């Protein structure tokens, strides 16, 4: 979902506010081999970097600890940066993030998080209850016969509260239509340059740069490699794609 999210925030600015609901990908993961196939399918659809060798080396037992950690981070403000840190670590960094110490270590790398408060919150019953509320919302939004809403899903709601949901993998045009239907209006802001985007957003995949900077895919890749030749950005290969950052 990240390329669509980047483009949405660029086009609509503060006229769209994102609230994260932890839907609980899996209380207990099944066979690792199945996860490898699902992750590679997601990488193929999205163009995002994925390294599923984690499942062959040290597979996480559950996604629930990471969900609880995101809920704990939300106690201190926008959990987006911490959620992104976990996504990179699990999905392409091959880090097993299903235990308290590992999740606290990730919090240390996110500016603005009070790590000791985060540790306390992560072990509190209040965070478990809030995560339980998220799970209930995910169940209530599900289709008949489903245990929870399809992941990924984004729901746009305007002043009247009517949700305009986009379920599963979908093109950005579906997201834009949902935002407009909920009453949001484009901000009219110009798309940033590649270096400015990397310095503001942190590490980005090529498809995220294309979305955020309003560049066709081949042009985004060409511009990134041009800047890399000038030592202005650097690429870190993550099996299926690169993650780019400013130097």
**Residue range 85-132, pLDDT digits in tens:** 999 999 999 999 999 999 999 999 999 999 999 999 999 999 999 999
CATH 1.10.10 residue ranges of the chain are 194-246
Convert 181-218 to b/e letters by CB count within 10 Å (16 or more is b): ebebeeeeeeebebbebbeebebbbbbbbbbbbebeee
The CA distance from 83 to 28, in Å, is 20
Alpha-carbon torsion angle 85, 37, 6, 230, nearest 10 = 80
Q: Residue 146: its pLDDT value, please?
A: 86
pLDDT confidence bin for 234, thresholds 50/70/90: very high
CATH of 194-246, one of 1.10.10, 1.10.3470, 3.10.50, 1.10.1740: 1.10.10
Q: What is the pLDDT of residues 61-88, one digit of tens each?
A: 999 999 999 999 999 999 999 999 999 9
pLDDT band at 231 (very low <50, low <70, confident <90, very high): very high
The C-alpha atoms of residue 123 and residue 116 are separated, in whole angstroms, by 11
Whole-angstrom distance, CA of residue 114 vs CA of residue 183: 36
* C-alpha distance from residue 169 to each of 2, 98, 217, 220, 238 (Å): 11, 26, 18, 22, 22
From residue 167, alpha-carbon distances to 143, 160, 202, 228 in Å are 11, 21, 27, 36
Is 4 strand, coil or helix? Answer: helix
Give ranges for CATH 3.40.30.10 in the chain.
24-140
The Cα diameter of the chain in Å comes to 54
Please answer whether residues 137 and 21 qualify as being in contact, where contact means their C-beta atoms are separated by less than 8 angstroms: yes
Is 54:214 a contact under the CB 8 Å cutoff? Answer: no
Name the pTM for this structure.
Answer: 0.94
Distance of CA 146 to the CA centre of its chain: 23
What integer pLDDT is reported at residue 24 of this predicted model? 93
Of 136, 146, 138, 135, the closest CA to residue 165 belongs to: 138
Question: How far apart, in whole angstroms, are the C-alpha atoms of residue 167 and residue 153?
Answer: 4
Reply yes or no on whether the pLDDT at 19 is more than 90. Answer: yes
Give the chain's mean pLDDT: 95
pLDDT at site 144: 86
Q: What is the mean pLDDT of residues 42-59?
A: 95
Residue 143 confidence (pLDDT): 84
CATH of range 24-140; options 3.40.30.10, 3.30.300.20, 3.20.20.10, 3.30.70.270: 3.40.30.10
pLDDT, one tens digit per residue, over 158-206 is: 999 999 999 999 999 999 999 999 999 999 999 999 999 999 999 999 9
> What's the confidence (pLDDT) of residue 87?
96
Give residue 195's Cα distance to chain centre. Answer: 21
């Amino acid at each position: 979902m990240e390329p669509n999210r980047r483009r949405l925030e660029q086009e609509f600015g503060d006229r769209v506010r994102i609230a994260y609901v932890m839907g609980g990908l899996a209380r207990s993961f099944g066979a690792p081999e199945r996860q490898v196939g699902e992750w590679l399918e997601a990488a193929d659809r999205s163009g995002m970097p994925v390294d599923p060798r984690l499942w062959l080396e040290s597979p996480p037992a559950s996604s629930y600890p990471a969900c609880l950690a995101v809920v704990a981070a939300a106690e201190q403000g926008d959990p987006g940066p911490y959620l992104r840190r976990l996504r990179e670590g699990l999905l392409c960094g091959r880090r097993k993030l299903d235990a308290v110490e590992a999740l606290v270590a990730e919090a240390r790398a996110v500016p603005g998080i009070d790590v000791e408060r985060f540790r306390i919150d992560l072990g509190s019953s209040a965070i478990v209850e809030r995560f339980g509320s998220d799970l209930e919302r995910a169940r209530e939004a599900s289709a008949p016969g489903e245990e929870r809403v399809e992941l990924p899903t984004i729901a746009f709601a305007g002043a009247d509260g009517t949700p305009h949901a986009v379920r599963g993998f979908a093109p950005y045009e579906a997201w834009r239509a949902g935002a407009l239907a909920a009453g949001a209006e484009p901000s009219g802001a110009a798309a940033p340059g590649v270096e400015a985007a990397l310095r503001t957003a942190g590490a980005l995949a090529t498809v995220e740069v294309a979305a955020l900077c309003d560049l066709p895919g081949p042009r985004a890749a060409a511009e990134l490699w041009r800047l890399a030749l000038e030592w202005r950005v650097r690429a870190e290969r993550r099996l299926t794609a690169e993650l780019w950052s400013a130097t």
